[in-house]
Amino acid sequence: MNPPVLPPPGPAAPRKKRRWLLIGCAGFLALVLIIVATVAITLWWMQRPIKPVVLSPEEKTAVEAKLERVQGTAPPNARSPETSESRSGKTLELDRPYVPGAKLIKLTEREINGLLNANTDLGNTVRLEFGRDAINAYLAVPIPKDFPIMGGKMFRARGRFAISVGNGGTPYAILEDVTVFGLSLPKAWLGGVKGENLLADVVKQNPNGPVLRGIKSLRVEPGALVLEVED
C-alpha cells in the first residue's frame, strides 16, 4: 500500500511580504512623528521670549558701587568735615580728602544684562554673552500682528562681535556673524562689513584719535567685560 501523498505547502511569501510592509509603515510613521516633534520643538524654541536678568538687592548694590568708584562720586568712608580746636581756641576745619575714581572697571555678564533690564526697555528683547574677546548678542522682538509676513510671531536674530583694544596687538572690532531665523547672512547683505576690522581705518588714519584716546585696554573675558583707562 502506497503512503498518502501530502499536498504541497502553501506559499509563505505573501505573509512575509505583509509583515515587512507593516514594519515599513510603522517605521515611516515613527519618522513622521519625529519630524513633526522636531519642527514643533524648533518653533517653540524660536518663539520663546528672552528672560530678563533681574539683579538681587545685593547684586544691585555691588554694581552701583563699581560704577560709583569709576565716577568718583562715592569715596570710601566719606564723612562730614572734621573740626579741631587750635591753641587760640578757634575752631579749624580739617582738609577734606579726595579719592579719585578707579582706573579699571570689571562688569560681569549678569550685571550688564541686569543694567539693561533696569535702565532700558531692552531687558525682554536683548541678551548679551561674553566670551574670549567676543560678545554674543541675542535679539527677540515680537512682530506686530498686522504685519503681512509672520505677524504675531517672534523675530529672532543673533550676532557675534569680536573686539579687543590695547591688549598687545592691533585693535580690532569685527562683526563676525549675523544670523536671522537660523540663516547666517552673507557679507553682501550686510553692506560688506562682515568680517572686516571696523577699527582698521581709524587706527591707520589716527591711532591717537578720540575713539581710542584714553583707553588703555578693553577686553572681553568669559562672563565679563573689563575696561581700563589711562592716567
Mean pLDDT of all residues belonging to the chain:
75
Whole-number pLDDT of residue 199: 82
Whole-number pLDDT of residue 41: 45
Q: What is the pLDDT of residues 205-228, one digit of tens each?
A: 565 555 567 788 888 999 998 888
Q: What is the pLDDT of residues 85-104, one digit of tens each?
A: 555 666 666 677 777 777 88
SS3 72: coil
Whole-number pLDDT of residue 95: 73
The residue ranges of DSSP E strands in the chain, in sequence order, are: 83-85, 91-93, 104-108, 126-131, 134-142, 154-164, 172-180, 183-184, 215-221, 224-229
Whole-number pLDDT of residue 162: 92
Whole-number pLDDT of residue 39: 47
The pTM score is 0.62
Radius of gyration of the chain (CA): 33
Above 80 in pLDDT, residue 72? no
Share of the chain above pLDDT 90, in %: 13
Above 80 in pLDDT, residue 62? yes
- Alpha-helix residue ranges (DSSP H) falling in 74-125: 109-119
For residues 141-163, give the mean pLDDT: 85
**Angle between helical axes of 109-119 and 57-71 (0-180°, round to 10):** 90
CA 157/CA 143 separation, integer angstroms: 13
Whole-number pLDDT of residue 101: 75
Provide the 10 A C-beta neighbour count for residue 146: 7
